[in-house]
Structure formats: structure tokens, C-alpha cells
Amino acid sequence: MIDYFPKSEILFQKGDKHEIIREINIRLAGFGGNVPTDEFTERTEKMIKQFQRDYMQVEETGVVDIKVIQAIDRFQEEYPIETYFAQAKCKCSTLKLVKGDKACGGFGNGKFEQQKQNANTIEMYRKYEYPGLHRTLFWVLRAWKFYLYHLDQRNMKIELVKSGYRCWSDNNAHNFRQSTNHMGKALDIHMIYNNTKISLENLCDDAREVMISYCNAHYRWNVGNVISLEVGMREKTPKDTAIAATWIHFDVRSFELKYLEDKYFVKSAEQVNGLSMQSLIINKG
Ligand SMILES: [Zn+2]
Ligand SMILES: [Zn+2]
């Protein structure tokens, strides 16, 4: 492509505020964790440094230049999520539904809209069917995959997204399940590993620990604005009610309400990706 920018020009740095920074905070969220804010925060700086160190393998500057922008586009292309996104659609249309329930098109029917952005409702109990899957989930999935495959060296592989969106019709068809985490905020991942000496339970716990180390995921939901994980066999206590023994459940439930606005929930892999970073920068003028 044409070289629009001198290689060393700083495009964004700590203290800046811009819609493109929001995109960077979404797309690199798996590198140490972040929320979709338009501000270049301390966390953004740490995230850029981690991306430079681990993915780009260049000197950590913590500022965004055109090389970082190009590397984000490369990272997107190297880790496609189209198949995972298709697997994450609600499967209620394949089920025998409870009488009176309607199948959704893959992302709910917008039920319980009155609870949308209602600060009086605890996120765990919010019944609102978000209008898609949160973009951050798939960008974290990408980064986690990068770490699983390249740095971790244990050859753990993501098999598939077993469960993504689960609308109320789907819940009802599963014995009137009450959980709402999967209404756009969560993914369940199945893993494979060609080492029969390691149990599936241990494999899932090992993979979870990679997400904790590199993506700053946390067990349970006590810490805000991070990726939350259901515990596995290694971490469970008698108090835990949600246990993911043989799969990995991660979600964005602990995000503040402003990071759970409808605009972050999307219905296609194209919308997860958005325009390339390079075209956003060129159009910025
Ligand atoms: Zn459905
Ligand atoms: Zn789950």
C-alpha cells in the first residue's frame, strides 16, 4: 500500500480520546484485558506494550504508530473467527420449543427490553436479550488462541464454540433454564489435546490459566471490567454454583453498563471485525 505515514509518527498515546482508540481497545482486549472506551488509558498503554512485546516482537513503546495499526489488521487476518461466530448463534430453531415460544434468528428476540441499561438490575439477573454477541468476546478469543498456540507450547487446541447465544426460547426448551449470561455476553469453548495422559478437566483448567495469565481473565465475577471465567475442577469451592468442568466458559458480565450498550453486540463476523484499522486511520484525515 501507499505509505501515508512516516513509520515513527505517533498517532495515539496516553491521554488521547478518539473513536479509533475505542476500536483499538476492543481489538486488543485479549492482550492484558480492556473495555471498549474511547480513552487511551493506563490500561491501553499496558495493552499496546504487551501486543508489541508478544505479537509484534518489537520494542515496547506503549504508543500507537502505523506499525501497530498494521499489526492489528494482520492479527485479525491471522486469526479468523467466522467459523466460531457461526457456531455461536442461538440454536433454538433446531429444538422442540415450549408451546407459544418463537425461535429467534440466532440472537434473541429483544425480549425484556424494559431491563435494557437499567442500572437497578444486577447484570446476573438481567433478562434482556442483547441484540447479538459482544465484540470483545471474539477479540479475546483471538488473543487467547494466539497465546495457546504460540507462547504456551502445550499444543492445546480450540475445538469449537459449543454454546454462544441462548435466548429465552432456548432456555425454556432446556427445562426452563434461568441463566441469562449467554444472552450475548458469553461463549463456551470445547478443547482438544492429543495427549491422553491429561484429563479433559485438567486441559480445560490449563487453558483457563492461559487466559488468566495473558488476557487478565478472572475467576467468578467479583472484579469489574474484566473477562470472567466460570471455575473448573481445580478452583471450585462448595460455594460455586456454576462449574465448567469439561469446557471453558468466559463472559463480559462484569463490564460496566456503558460497555454493554447495544452497539457492542453484533450479528456477524464482519461486524466483529469492523473496517480495517488502516482504512479507519486513512479516513480519519
Ligand atoms: Zn434463540
Ligand atoms: Zn457458559
- For residue 233, give the amino acid letter: M
Write down the pLDDT at residue 4: 58
Model confidence band, residue 195 (pLDDT cutoffs 50, 70, 90): confident
Model pLDDT, residue 2:
53
Q: Are 257 and 119 contacting, i.e. CB atoms less than 8 angstroms apart?
A: yes
Whether 164 has a pLDDT exceeding 80, the answer reads yes
Percent of the chain with pLDDT over 90: 91
Q: From 23, 270, 7, 30, select the one nearest 146 (Cα to Cα).
A: 30
pLDDT score for 5: 60
Å from CA of 249 to ligand 2 middle: 4
For residue 216, the CA-to-ligand 2 centroid distance in Å is 18
pLDDT of residue 3: 56
Query: Nearest to residue 75, comparing CAs of 156, 149, 161?
Result: 149
Residue ranges per structural domain of the chain: 19-80+270-284, 82-265
Ligand 2 center from residue 129 Cα (angstroms) = 15
Average pLDDT, the chain: 95
pLDDT for the residue 6: 66
Q: Alpha-carbon distance 132 to 89, whole Å?
A: 9
In terms of Cα–Cα distance, which of 226, 102, 240, 127 is closest to 180? 127
* d(CA 179, ligand 2 centre) in Å: 9
Instruction: Give the residue from 229, 242, 131 showing the smallest Cα distance to 186.
Output: 229
Q: What is the pLDDT of residues 238-269, one digit of tens each?
A: 999 999 999 999 999 999 999 999 999 999 99
Distance of CA 207 to the CA centre of its chain: 15
ipTM value: 0.99
Q: How far is the CA of 150 from the centre of ligand 1 (A)?
A: 35
- Compute the residue count for the chain: 285
210 close to 152: Cβ distance less than 8 angstroms: yes
pLDDT tens for 96-138 read: 999 999 999 999 999 999 999 999 999 999 999 999 999 999 9
Kindly write down the DSSP assignment for every residue of 79-138, as one continuous string.
S--HHHHHHTS--GGGS-PPTT----SSS----SGGGTT-TTS-GGG-----SSEEHHHH
